Amino acid sequence: MRMRPRRLLVSAAIVFLLTAFTGSVNASAAASGYSGGSLGRLSADEIAKLAAQANQRSIIVLKDQHREVPARSGLASRRARAVEADQAEIKDELRTLRAPDVKSFHIVNALTATISRAEVKRLESDPAVRAVVPDLMRPLQLSRTLDAGTVGAASAAAAPAAASQSAVCPSDPGVPLLEPEALQVMHVENQAGDTSPAAHQLGDGSGVKVGIIADGLDPNQADLIRDGRSIVFDFQDFSGYGNGAPTDGREAFLDAGAIAAQGNGVYDLSTFVSPAHPLPPGCNIRIKGVAPGTSLAVMNVAGSAGGFFNSQIIQAIDWAVNVDKVDVLNESLGGLPFPDNSINPVKIANDNAVAAGVTVVVSTGDLGPTNTIQSPSSDPGVIAVGGTTTYRVYRQTTRAGSQLLSGDWENNNITALSSSGTSQFGPRTIDVVAPGDRGWEPCSADRTRFLGCAGQPIWAAGGTSLSAPLTSGTAALVIQAYARTHGGAKPAPDLIKRIIVSTAEDLGAPAEHQGAGLVNTLKAVQLAGSISDANGAPAPGGSTLTVDRTALISTAPAGTPVDFQVAVTNSGATAQTVTPSLAGLGANHVSDDQGSVSLNNSSPAFVDDRGRPAAYQIHQFTVPEGVDYLNGDILWNAQAQSPRGKPGSVVYETVWDPAGSVAAYSLLGQASGHGHIEVRKPAAGTWTAAIWTLQNLATYTGEVRFDYFTQRFENAGTVTPAAQTLAPGETAGFTVSLNSSSEAGDRTASLRLSTGGENDGALPVVVRSLVPTNDSGGSFGGVLTGGATLGQQLTYQFDVPAGKPLLDLAVSLRDPSYPVYGFLVDPSGQPLDVQSTIAGQTAGGVSVFGRNLQFFEKTPAAGRWTAIVRLHQGLDAVNADNFTEPFSGRIGFQSVPVVASGLPTSESTVLAGGRPATATIQVTNSGNSTKDFFVDPRLSQKAFLQVLGYQNIDVPLPLSLAAQPYFVVPPNSDLFEVVAQSTVPVQMEVSQSFGDPDVLGTPLGGNFNLAMASAPELAPAHWFAIPEGQGPFPAGGIGTATVTLSGAVNTNAFDSAVTSSTGNAWFQAAIDNTAAYAPLRLAPGQTGTITVTITPDAPKGTVVDGFVGVETVNNFTGSGDEIVSLPYRYTVG
């Protein structure tokens, strides 16, 4: 663990702030109702004591956050009165103490003040106070019954849509095609001459404001002009580069276009497509948004960088909500933290935005269907949107070898890139899907400013980054429609989400891939205008249903009954009979076609949409009658041709149905060794697959294995009553019953709400089965299948009883060569141990992978623990030998064999000062992996210690994406804080190296910022500190700016009197980089001895209390095991 740090030279002010904190602060206590204060009157002596040494900048958070009066404009005065009443007694006392810097907040029920430590303790004892925390981050917002024995036929779901070839270009160039195709499949606006009902016949989003967090754009792009003025009413930079700096631009143009493009420009596709695949002149299109009447606020968080940090997103959210007063906030962004829990400032900011009346729409990510839902879309308060296919663009551009078969195209399948599955915590799945593969959107011909546009005014956009703004536009239309029939009132975010979910179309895809289904904008607008509530009772319209919840989620012991209650209201104009059923995709394969093809220099070739040659092979397979779902997986030996995955060889698959319509494309061009497609309601007959590789630097030569298999939906439980006829406005309750899986893990199903209509809906059901455990432990298992570069993740949760000496968790794969990480997360959300199957590296630096993961955690806290198994194909590709890789997990509570000899354990033992005394510790590795053991001697008392900083001196802003400042937090730490001093005002976040917890800092004035993380025990790990300038910035950006950071932890003091034969890895990394470290390496079953030497250095007569921690460190994860603490006690003679 030897690194190159630079010790931080800090100003006296920073040292003062660091040394001011002497203990942990728990700011995460559960909220409860206000019970009244109990401060009482103060005597003169008490006033003097409490007012003395008032140097603690503190936030006093009240328990009652008054959710009954949220921080909306119409309720502002009521909330202010409620909050002021709660705060009155505390403010009176602070005035009595003459406390400086007293400030009251209303959006959260909290105050800030500078007070003494004694006053902190006094306020903490007040039952009306939730917490008193250092001023470090944004405060917490802190009937007939029938037998339902038959699953509704999958054919009741909307069938795959095939489009006419003539629709690639308009028959009359004077009447351009309306793009993107999403407008038609979501029933937003039809092509000219089609008089079918569509949402734009009912509204355009006028009067609604939508915020976009992305990169830069040109507000004066032709399709962003309405009535001679830009629809972008505010454009702010939070990147630090300035809005005039070069930027990629595609994301912002995509978001703005999908939401509100005006359709002003006419673009001839024949001038944009590759000359290798010409279109006839006059192949004209117009581009229009879902809500062209809206006004947009654009927050540029990326600038010239390829990404951005949470602290920039937070600033953008705050501005959009509090300054721009947006109604909808679109976030086509995300990351994949481990763990992904609620201790995340972006999620907190989004929750506060929702509480303030803003609907937040977030893309789920572009990592495929293997449980890759990104944060912040994993937050249940937002609308999480996955992606579907609209393949007109494929035929227009001759994309992905689509020319190999002449025919049309299918729409509304789940795109291969759509991040879906279940989340780590909750659990939860996606809410809805919308087109994300692909559609034409605006861009810019200015090559110097908008680099991603490649000099073109339009581009074929894709990803869930398209799905999210299409859904945000739908939310805007819902707000307009609701306000029109409800006296101008705007619907709450929860109602908007329920409207969009209630009206989504069940595609017949698995629940964890589609959520409730495809967004149906027309039905959502109809429902919004006819829904009856406290704001109005308009006449019912359309044929809609309203559900009282957006998903059915539960965690239960394995193999136990689970019941849900769902209320369904007929919001339509006529009576409807609801026939519910519960369906899940069966595990058995109806058909299974496996084999291989070989790609080489003699393979036939085609030219792709960019003019690049691609070698391919054709394979045909048969889909039988009556199946519901088709999956296609390919494997290639990317490990051999691209060790460590990058740069790497890439193979794709494109699939056509029996009619020659292009149906699916694996899309994700990554050297993961695994590709995947899926098709709902596949037609029976002969299907065709092209398996291909581009003949460029990523070309692949060799065998590619394939597996095309089909499945049927099966009955997953019962719903009672089995049918219910509802008159307009009538509500019925249904009981949904199923069993949790008998094996630990997640079970998913769809509650199909059939009315006999073509656009019926569904609700996703997710039930997590806990790992069965007893007093001795438990076991679990799973199967890895592979995914995109960031791979696959599986989550297992289990309960640990109180009083156990050790948590021993072991995971074993059947085969080696899989790049797997494992995370052991405690009940407070801290990843206390992170392990990897990396067993070493070759002389050339190529990682070698084993089969096992081993976790040890001493005296585990009682409660619910989480184990996350992550297949990390960013480290290397999957093993091409297996489509599936089973693994097993074992949980135990038996101590590791550790025997100490010679450690003093009583104050009656006298050790002479300055004279060495030795002891030995014998350790046996009882785990399944080779471990590096060492000892970590500590004193019993806590101390506040400054820790080494890495890359933390004079850091230039904007912060580089390639390297960020970090610190090492050792075990037994309950508090970590970082102080940043900059040449400009800054915002800062701190997070452990793999993800959450992630904590936002607070400005202290004088260009200082303080961030603090606390927990019963913080994750022993590298913790990153991410400072960024406080925006918004002028057109020229932040200018020349630097920041210097200092970190400190509250932990058990390292005992300088104790040395050992192994040294201490944590002391070396966190305190003294020159200290020795030579661990005892033990293979499974091996025993070794560590020698400990105590040379007392305290004054004579001192009683010394401490413990020797027996620990390990994983050099590849920077984390490790805490195995046992061996106490020692002696008197210095």
Please give the pLDDT value at position 262. Answer: 99
Please give the pLDDT value at position 783. Answer: 96
Residue 1022, judged by CB atoms within 10 A of its CB (0-12, 13-18, 19+), counts as buried
Residue-wise pLDDT tens digits, 311-348: 899 999 999 999 999 999 999 999 999 999 888 889 99
308 three-class SS: coil
- Tell me the residue length of the chain: 1133
Residue-wise pLDDT tens digits, 881-917: 899 999 999 999 999 999 999 999 999 999 999 999 9
Q: What is the mean pLDDT of the chain?
A: 90
Please give the pLDDT value at position 438. Answer: 96
Please give the pLDDT value at position 616. Answer: 98
d(CA 459, CA 454): 9
Going across the sheet that includes 110-115, the strands are 103-105, 110-115, 56-62, 129-134
Architecture of domain 175-552: 3-Layer(aba) Sandwich (3.40)
Please give the pLDDT value at position 908. Answer: 96
- Distance, C-alpha 652 to centroid of its chain: 27
Handedness of CA 1052, 1057, 1062, 1063 (dihedral sign): positive
Residues 6+ apart with CB under 8 A from 659: 162, 407, 408, 683
Residue-wise pLDDT tens digits, 963-1012: 899 999 999 999 999 999 999 999 999 999 999 999 999 898 889 999 99
Please give the pLDDT value at position 141. Answer: 23
| SS3 track for 869-885 | EEECCCCCCCCCCCCCE
Closest CA to 431 of 334, 486, 513: 513
pLDDT greater than 70 at residue 37 = no
DSSP 8-state symbol, 145 = -
- Distance, C-alpha 1090 to centroid of its chain: 42
d(CA 226, CA 231): 6
Please give the pLDDT value at position 40. Answer: 66
Residues 785 and 421 sit within 8 Å (Cβ to Cβ): no
Residue-wise pLDDT tens digits, 755-780: 998 899 999 999 999 999 999 999 99
773-895 is classed CATH 3.40.50.10860: no
328 three-class SS: strand
The full set of domain ranges for the chain reads: 28-134, 175-552, 571-587+715-769, 591-711, 773-895, 899-1132
Place of tokens 């007392």: 1096
Residues 744 and 780 sit within 8 Å (Cβ to Cβ): yes
Residue-wise pLDDT tens digits, 191-239: 999 999 999 999 999 999 999 999 999 999 999 999 999 999 999 999 9
Pairing of strands 986-992, 949-950: unpaired
Task: Please state which of the ranges 127-141, 348-362, 735-749, 862-876 shows the lowest mean pLDDT.
Answer: 127-141
Give how far Cα 635 sits from Cα of 420, 641, 673, 883, Å: 21, 13, 5, 7
Please give the pLDDT value at position 21. Answer: 31
Class of the 28-134 domain? alpha beta
Handedness of CA 78, 83, 85, 91 (dihedral sign): negative
For residue 511, report the phi and psi dihedrals to the nearest 5 degrees.
Answer: -55, -40
Instruction: Convert 252-266 to b/e letters by CB count within 10 Å (16 or more is b).
Output: bbbbbbbbbbbbbbe
Instruction: Convert 166-196 to b/e letters by CB count within 10 Å (16 or more is b).
Output: ebbbbeeeeebbbbbbbbbbbbbbbbeeeee
Ramachandran bin of 611, using left for φ above 0, alpha for ψ from -120 to 50, beta for the remaining angles: left
pLDDT greater than 80 at residue 415 = yes
pLDDT greater than 80 at residue 158 = no
Ramachandran bin of 397, using left for φ above 0, alpha for ψ from -120 to 50, beta for the remaining angles: alpha
pLDDT greater than 90 at residue 52 = no
Residue-wise pLDDT tens digits, 660-700: 999 999 998 788 899 999 999 999 999 999 999 999 888 99
Residues 42 and 93 sit within 8 Å (Cβ to Cβ): yes
CA distance from start to end of the chain? 36
- Distance, C-alpha 707 to centroid of its chain: 30
Instruction: Convert 338-366 to b/e letters by CB count within 10 Å (16 or more is b).
Output: bbbbbbbbbbbbbbbbbbbbbbbbbbbbb
At residue 149 the predicted structure's pLDDT band, cuts being 50, 70 and 90, is: very low
Pairing of strands 359-363, 383-390: parallel
Q: What integer is the mean pLDDT of 712-734?
A: 97
d(CA 978, CA 998): 13
Please give the pLDDT value at position 173. Answer: 96
Across 48-97, the runs of DSSP E, i.e. the strands, are 56-62
Q: Identity (one letter) of the amino acid at 67?
A: R
Q: What integer is the mean pLDDT of 722-733?
A: 97
Better pLDDT: 147 or 109? 109
* Whether residue 442 has a cis bond before it, omega within 30° of 0: no
Q: Identity (one letter) of the amino acid at 300?
A: N
d(CA 943, CA 929): 34
Closest CA to 938 of 1099, 1133, 1124, 1087: 1124
**Angle, CA of 373, 1023 and 1017, to the nearest 5°:** 90
Q: Domain 591-711 falls in which CATH fold?
A: Jelly Rolls (2.60.120)
- Distance, C-alpha 805 to centroid of its chain: 33
- CATH topology match: 175-552 vs 773-895: no
Closest CA to 367 of 359, 375, 379: 375
Closest CA to 500 of 430, 560, 400, 411: 430
Please give the pLDDT value at position 846. Answer: 76
Q: What integer is the mean pLDDT of 30-42?
A: 45
pLDDT greater than 80 at residue 140 = no
At residue 55 the predicted structure's pLDDT band, cuts being 50, 70 and 90, is: confident
Closest CA to 367 of 333, 417, 433: 417
pLDDT greater than 70 at residue 135 = no
Q: Identity (one letter) of the amino acid at 1027?
A: P
- Distance, C-alpha 830 to centroid of its chain: 16
Provide, rounded to the nearest whole percent, the portion of the chain with pLDDT above 90: 79
Residues 807 and 800 sit within 8 Å (Cβ to Cβ): yes
Place of tokens 């009482």: 40
- Which uninterrupted H or E stretch holds 330? strand 328-331
Task: Please state which of the ranges 77-91, 308-322, 407-421, 598-612 shows the lowest mean pLDDT.
Answer: 77-91
Please give the pLDDT value at position 723. Answer: 98
